Structure 1
Amino acid sequence: MANDVATDATDDAVTGEPPRRRQRFDSIRNMVLSLAVICAGAFGLVLFNPGDQPEGSTPTVSYEVEATTAARAAPYELLVPEGLPEGWRATSVRYEPLGEFGATWHLGFLDPDDEYVAVRQADGDAGEFVADATRDAEDTGSATAAGGRDWARYEGSKYDALVLAEPDATTVVMGTASFDRLEQFAGALVAAAE
């Protein structure tokens, strides 16, 4: 033990640093080196792992379970598309029971031309919800019939939309797709199974 103390004292005399300061520096240096190794490993995994999706594609999600669960909880008739032709694929799904605009349902798709189309529903303030969902698109004053419902047409710089205002909820079908695609999607909407 006396030899160890003497060795430490000799090392400290050579470096000129107090023992605690050197230990603190070694700990920080080891932490930084460990972090660098972890980051390099993570970067390597991302760089060399091609994944199972083609370059530039958006992953497809399953939404049936989420829709069934949300339909049980939603205070309105939750809508999902049924019978869309091949080439449509779901890319995002979420239900917020206490969202900014009340109970909010969102289901996003890419159409066969890789254009975005989504249905959003909420039971909160209709004006604010439509402005948010459509990114401030303007009501054109015209209507479109789709799926046995009359939808108001909105045009905007980011999204065009079809809006269905009902007493219990507001439904918005919006996206970058053409109005024909929006109408096709709106026409396929049916009540989700509970």
Structure 2
Amino acid sequence: MPMSSPASSRGNPSMGDVLRSVAVIGLIVLVVWAFGRIFFTNDVEKTIEPIDYAKVVEQARPAASFELLAPTSLPKGWEARSARFDPQAWHLGVFTDSGDYIGLEQIKTSVDRAVDRFAEGSKPAGTAEVDGRTWKVRSGPKGRWIYVRGDDGVTTLINSSASRKTVESYISSLSTS
């Protein structure tokens, strides 16, 4: 009498086999995702070191073809994280103590071109009088505030996630000396 061999499921897997395979593949994908998240994700705000913007300003002012604006000092807990200068443009990026960003741009271009470049998607939101100067105010995506004005072919633009009060206080701190 011939002996019969146990049934094999190689050609026709059972539902249990399918579920175990999906669980193993899902676990592998989860492990790869977690590994990438832990070892290959960085928090830009934490990896960019503060800079001494006053030194950059000191070097840039004599070479600037316009009156370069910069804060006389930053409030406690605020940090400058980026500063770039060329004879046609100046940028200073600052984080407040609450993590809001304030970007100062001065560029030799029209207000419209500066808004297109640095405040895309913003909409007019009136004007503001800060230290005797009138600024055009724009509201941007994600609650951003943009303050902009043009003087003698140079546009100054402030783009920030901070409150209007904080932005206006920052603007008041700007000086050309």
Q: Same fold (TM over 0.5)?
A: yes
Shift of 1:67: 1.1
Corresponding residue number in structure 2 for 1:28: none
Residue 130 (structure 2) pairs with residue 146 (structure 1):
yes
C-alpha distance in 2 between matches for 1:72 and 1:136:
35
User: How is 1:115-130 mapped onto 2 (pairs within 5 angstroms)?
Assistant: 115-130=100-115
Q: Deviations over 1:22-46 (max 9, x none)?
A: xxxxxxxxxxxxxxxxxxxxxxxxx
User: Do the aligned residues in 2 keep the contact of 1:81 with 1:188 (CA within 8 Å)?
Assistant: yes
Q: Give me the identity figure in percent.
A: 27
Shift of 1:74: 1.5
User: Do the aligned residues in 2 keep the contact of 1:124 with 1:169 (CA within 8 Å)?
Assistant: yes
Give unmatched runs, 5+ long, in structure 2. 1-38, 40-44
User: Do the aligned residues in 2 keep the contact of 1:121 with 1:169 (CA within 8 Å)?
Assistant: yes
Report the RMSD for the aligned CA atoms in angstroms. 1.9
C-alpha distance in 2 between matches for 1:126 and 1:68:
26
C-alpha distance in 2 between matches for 1:72 and 1:190:
15
User: Do the aligned residues in 2 keep the contact of 1:160 with 1:176 (CA within 8 Å)?
Assistant: yes
User: How is 1:33-182 mapped onto 2 (pairs within 5 angstroms)?
Assistant: 56=46, 58-97=48-87, 103-140=88-125, 142-158=126-142, 159-182=144-167
Shift of 1:174: 1.1
Shift of 1:57: 5.8
Worse overlay, 182-191 or 162-171: 162-171
List 4+ stretches of structure 1 deviating above 6 A.
none
Q: Deviations over 1:110-137 (max 9, x none)?
A: 0111110011001123211122112331
Shift of 1:189: 0.4
Change in Cα spacing, 1:83 to 1:147, as seen in structure 2 (3 Å) is farther
Give unmatched runs, 5+ long, in structure 1. 1-46, 48-54, 98-102
User: Do the aligned residues in 2 keep the contact of 1:134 with 1:160 (CA within 8 Å)?
Assistant: no
Q: Deviations over 1:45-69 (max 9, x none)?
A: xx7xxxxxxx946421111222122
Matched positions, count: 133
Q: Secondary structure at the match of 2:149?
A: strand
C-alpha distance in 1 between matches for 2:48 and 2:164:
22
Shift of 1:88: 1.3
Worse overlay, 66-75 or 116-125: 66-75
Whichever residue aligns with residue 129 of structure 1, its letter is A
